[in-house]
Structure 1
Amino acid sequence: MNDIETPAAVRTFVEATNRGDAEAFAAAFTHDAELDDWGRRYHGREGVRAWDRTDNVGVQAHFALEAIEPGATPDTYVVTLTVTGNGHNGTGPMTFQLRDGLIASLRIAP
């Protein structure tokens, strides 16, 4: 992993998932967040909660942070995670756009 410090919201995203803490997970996002999981789009914290139930904490996902790099714009990070659990399993990038210390946008795709 490189020398970029992992932003607090990204740490919360990973740690809340690994603890199975759906409330802390949703709280890491802005109220108007956008989540795009390979073209499946979710809006706001309620959308994030719906995704979390079906694709994350709800399927006992566990994340291992492999790498973090700066994204193309300020406050954007490309985070490579290894995912295990009872849903999707594998390693790949997630692009986080932060605003005011929270996740405003999350895109899961190559």
Structure 2
Amino acid sequence: MTEQPPAAISALIDTTNAADSAAFVAAFTDDAYVRDGSREFTGHAGVADWDRTDNIGVGMHFDLLGWKASGVDTYVVTIRAKSRRFNGTGDLVLTVREGLIARLEIG
């Protein structure tokens, strides 16, 4: 990969890998929506809950494998995830608004 990903993608990965929950939540819009499988989370409080149970709270580390635009301000991000709870490779779908993550869909 030679081209750098949009800043919102970098923020998601960098704040996760730095285990910085406050910065992770701040990378999302106030009205953000996260869907992880059948579970849904909204707003900063919801993002913080998801982060605690499924991301930084379980020692998550992301390796960026690739990314591509998939519409206006929407990106498919392929990552390798490693944590005490989840391990594997998969796609995240991010929608960005004004430089922040407005929507994150997993699985």
TM-score category by the smaller chain? over 0.9
What residue in structure 2 maps to residue 47 of structure 1?
Answer: 46
- The answer on 1:99 being equivalent to 2:97 is yes
Partner SS for 2:5: coil
What residue in structure 2 maps to residue 108 of structure 1?
Answer: 106
**How far 1:4 moved relative to its partner?**
4.6
Question: Which AA in structure 2 matches 1:43?
Answer: T
What residue in structure 1 maps to residue 63 of structure 2?
Answer: 64
| TM-score under structure 1 length normalisation | 0.94
What residue in structure 1 maps to residue 30 of structure 2?
Answer: 31
For structure 2, the residue ranges without an aligned partner over 5 or more in a row are: none
Moved over 2 A (4+): none
The separation in 1 between residues aligned to 2:3 and 2:42, in whole angstroms, is 28
For structure 1, the residue ranges without an aligned partner over 5 or more in a row are: none
**How far 1:5 moved relative to its partner?**
3.1
What residue in structure 1 maps to residue 86 of structure 2?
Answer: 88
| TM-score under structure 2 length normalisation | 0.96
